Amino acid sequence: MKVFDLKYQLSYLPQVMRLEYLEWADHPEENQEERIEKKIQLFYDHMSDEDYCKLVLLEKEELIGFISLFPRDGEEDLTPWYATMYVLEKYRGHGYSKLLHQALIEEARKRNITTLYLKTVLNHFYEKLGAQYLRDLKTGEKLYRLDLYDYETERLHIRPTYVTDVSLLLKTDHQEETQKFLGGLKDYSLEEREEFLKEIISSPDSYPYTVWLEDIPIGFVQIKKIQDDYGLSYLFDYDYWKKGYCTEAVKKILFESFPISWNRMVAMTFPENKNSIRVLEKAGFQVHSQNDEFMIYELIKH
């Protein structure tokens, strides 16, 4: 059993396009053959584009299923899209959808794609594959985002933040030292903190990471687009302060892993927050400006 790019297995193209059409077309009984031919021509027109491909799963010479990468999928102004996951009915229930999923993720990474979007009417399926729910669509479908970055350092594992990481946020809410420069101890409910994480995750200009030490989540790092620059922030469990974990994570993300090209990174902290200043200075940040309340640090990428 093997996954192929459909452009190298063109004998399966008519079958794939017919199955895709019958599964997702509006009013499939209308002008069926003509519309399928248009889909086939569309494939030929775009099969070499960086944000377009179709992968097929084959067992010997038999088609098991397929999946697609599209630049657009409907009216949403987002790109690119994870789309048309399909397994032939007689092969369902054997885990083949996971094979297709992993194949498309690997293909997207080869193309330097860092985020995919998808929409579905299925409940709780794509969450198991790491997708983050964003919102309900007018079509009745749910919109999801898949972030494709996972990083390792000598001691840490860094991956996209999920809503299920809320337990770490709730823990830091009640740590006096952690909240000292964040307005004091918090008393938010689980639901309120889940909504807070959903808002961060769903922002197209936000790149939130959760930092893990073995199987324990110990901190958050976020990079956010701010006009022409990017802003860095971080929040770590006080139990893991003064061990170099935050600096290690920040350096890994900024200098080796962050998928977006940047020239200037900024961060804000209080003059009294010596631990945060230490992290920034070890990462190469320098003071840009200061007023009575805040210090603005910057890092220029040469």
Task: Answer positive or negative: Cα dihedral of 254, 259, 265, 270.
Answer: negative
Residue 63: CB partners within 8 Å, gap ≥ 6? 12, 15, 16, 56, 57, 88
Q: Contact at 8 Å (CB) between 96 and 87?
A: yes
Is the pLDDT assigned to residue 157 strictly greater than 80? yes
Q: Which domains can be identified in the chain, with CATH numbers?
A: 2-147 (3.40.630.30), 151-300 (3.40.630.30)
Residue 198: predicted pLDDT: 79
Residue 171: CB partners within 8 Å, gap ≥ 6? 237
Bridge partner residues of 136 (DSSP): 142
**Alpha-carbon Rg for the chain in angstroms:** 23
Q: How far apart, in whole angstroms, are the C-alpha atoms of residue 126 and residue 103?
A: 15
Q: What is the pLDDT of residues 200-242, one digit of tens each?
A: 877 778 888 999 999 999 999 999 989 889 999 999 999 999 9
Beta strands (DSSP E) in the chain are 2-5, 53-59, 62-70, 81-87, 115-120, 132-136, 142-147, 151-152, 157-160, 206-213, 216-226, 229-236, 264-269, 286-290, 295-300
- For 179, other C-beta atoms within 10 Å of its C-beta total 16
Q: What is the pLDDT of residues 24-50, one digit of tens each?
A: 988 888 899 999 999 999 999 999 999
Q: What is the pTM of this model?
A: 0.63
Q: How far apart, in whole angstroms, are the C-alpha atoms of residue 232 and residue 224?
A: 7
Q: What is the pLDDT of residues 246-302, one digit of tens each?
A: 999 999 999 886 767 788 999 999 999 999 999 999 999 999 999 888 999 999 986
- How would you class 214 by CB atoms within 10 Å of its CB: exposed for 0-12, middle for 13-18, buried for 19 or more? exposed
